[in-house]
Amino acid sequence: MALITIHNGLLAFGDHPLLDQADFALQENERVCLVGRNGAGKSTLMKVLAKEVLLDDGKMQIMQDVVVSRLEQDPPRDQQGTVYDYVAGGLAEAGEQLRIYQDLLDLVTHSPTDANIKKLSAVQEQLDHTGAWRFEDRINNVLTALKLDGQTKLTDLSGGWQRKAALARALVCEPDVLLLDEPTNHLDVTTIEWLEGFLKDFRGSIIFISHDRTFIKSMATRIVDLDRGKLNSFPGNYDQYLVEKEDQLRVEEMQNAEFDKKLAQEEVWIRQGIKARRTRNEGRVRALKKLREERSQRREVQGKVNLKIDDGSRSGKIVFEAENLCYSIDGKSIVNDFSFNIMRGDRIALIGPNGCGKSTLLKLFLGELTADSGRLHCGTKLEVAYFDQYRELLDPEKSVIDNLADGKQEVMVAGRPRHALSYLQDFLFAPKRARTPVKALSGGEKNRLLLARIFLKPNNLLVLDEPTNDLDIETLELLEDLLANYQGTLLLVSHDREFVDNTVTTSWIFEGNGVIEEFVGGYHDAQQQRQQVLQARLADVEPVKSVKAVDKPAKASEVKPKLKKLSYKLQRELEELPAKLEQFETEIETLQLQINDADFFSQPVEHTQPILDKLAATEQALEVAFERWEELEAMQQES
């Protein structure tokens, strides 16, 4: 028997119903992934299942004595009390008893009077009687796994950590049905993998919303697709759903085309009938009216986000160069003795647990922070576009269009003026929605707006800090395709394992204590190489070295070179070479622009040949200078 059923569910907000005669049934021990576009109504459906929102029509039934617990997408930020109090609150009466016990325990610690000790003993007896002690261990285990301090005030936590607390609250109560809205948001990969194991051991049914495809593939036993108010069930795994969904849309497109053809034929008939005769087939007229009504009620498939990056001019060959870089916060080492080169076109993911320093390292790159020691050199001609995971670049009080265009009607797209409303429609903001304050947007809409803003600016260096949070999967895949064709340099922080695998060629893994290791490939490739290194070290043999990208020196975290002091002449030559390299690259770009002109080869050979000769000579000079730079760098590294 189903735990929860919805029959002919109707729920309307705005122009279109979120649920339109929708049917749904949840069986025991299912793990159902609810998918759909941003704004389709997934989070609202979760509130319906939790009895927080009532259907306008239709019927929802929950089996008697079934306990439902929901993780909110955005937990309340004004909740008072400690993290422990908030998490224990998910246990109803037992949680209240444990909260009182913790408060009395703190009171007795600071004021061990007979009266306080007597109160504590009474609560202990009550906990013994109700068996609520078993939840104490569960609360502490979940808090430990999520790295939460139970005594911290909830209001002192950032939004990401408050979300972790909300997840803990949903997990501790052992419900029959667990509703999880984007449970992996703001979690690092280690915690996501712990969550997967925890949920697989959960004895109950789960309905979850997630954009993390690796998480979905690991967890889901069934996919339910919320599309234009209908709930369509797809048994099996996520990959199978993608195939069946594509087939379903193809059949729908063919049926719609056939319907539209018939409607067009009937419209021609009715017009001809008016001209040719006064008497018409009234049955056919009524059928035409029904066709018109059916066509007007059709809800088309929502369009796709139209993502385009305005590639800026080419940056210099060296984007960033660092030597023995160090940075710490309150005595904690974030980056320790790290040396690296980032070359034009590199695509690097920064991977590690929350708080390890990934965003801090990005701020060092962007010049928002200054290293404690070491050298960090930024290349020339850098045009940076920065995606901020906390969306601090958006003004919540301003409308969508004002955040984009700052009160103007037009924006420059690829060097050409375009109406701001038209550009926003590429990111699925209808004109009415474009005038909505940002504070009223969903998380996915805020991310789409931030992408719209940063893609306006020509750039050759993309710095993306958690860009995938709250995006629907279709938009996420379009972003992947866009980045795959991006000609500039990419620095990415993301806990979405499949997204990392599909977008980068190098991974920097933060091992702790400021140590950063470099591996070739995305997340899973890096983890395999990392395991080989760790196993080799445990076996006390020479470690298997991670493969290095071409033209990249070994990192300080792998090899700790003792720098050799060059002679004054060689040292000065080494310092001057980067400027020469930039000069040669600029000359080459200028010459190539002349050669690429459509009329270049129609000119006399005495005019074109010197330019071609100069290009060849400059390219040769660049190659020689670069080899010399590598040679001097190697000499300096020799022990």
Q: Extract the annotated binding site for ATP.
A: 36-43, 352-359
Closest CA to 24 of 233, 197, 189: 233
Spatial contact of 198 and 224, defined as CB atoms under 8 Å apart: no
Closest CA to 463 of 381, 346, 570, 333: 346
Spatial contact of 39 and 304, defined as CB atoms under 8 Å apart: no
- CA 39/CA 34 separation, integer angstroms: 13
CB atoms within 10 A of CB 45: 27
Spatial contact of 311 and 486, defined as CB atoms under 8 Å apart: yes
CA–CA distances in Å: residue 470 to residues 185, 377, 445: 8, 35, 8
List binding-site positions: 36-43, 352-359
- CA 2/CA 164 separation, integer angstroms: 30
Q: How many residues does the chain have?
A: 639
CB atoms within 10 A of CB 422: 12
* DSSP string across 285-314: HHHHHHHHHHHHT--PPPPPP-----B-S-
- CA 213/CA 288 separation, integer angstroms: 45
Closest CA to 39 of 418, 328, 360, 299: 299
Strand order in the sheet with 373-378: 332-343, 318-329, 373-378
> Roughly what angle, to the nearest 10 degrees, separates helices 114-130 and 92-110?
150
Cα-to-chain-centroid distance, residue 41 = 20
Question: Beta-strand (E) ranges in 210-252?
Answer: 222-227, 230-235
Contacts for 331 with CB less than 8 Å, ≥ 6 apart: none
CA–CA distances in Å: residue 334 to residues 355, 359, 369, 490, 508: 9, 10, 12, 21, 14
Spatial contact of 403 and 449, defined as CB atoms under 8 Å apart: yes
Structure tokens belonging to residue 46: 């979760």
The values of phi and psi at residue 474, to 5°, are -65, -45
The values of phi and psi at residue 367, to 5°, are 80, 10
- CA 306/CA 429 separation, integer angstroms: 11
* Exposure class string for 470-494: b at 16+ Cβ within 10 A, else e: bbbbbbbbbbbebbeebebbbbbbb
Helix (H, G, I), strand (E, B) or coil at 619: helix
DSSP secondary structure letter of residue 541: S
Q: Rounded to the nearest 10 degrees, how much is the dihedral formed by the CA atoms of 578, 583, 584, 587?
A: 160
Distance spanning both ends of the chain, measured CA to CA: 73
Strand order in the sheet with 347-351: 384-387, 461-465, 489-493, 347-351, 506-512, 515-520
3-state SS of 499-511 is HHHHHCCEEEEEE
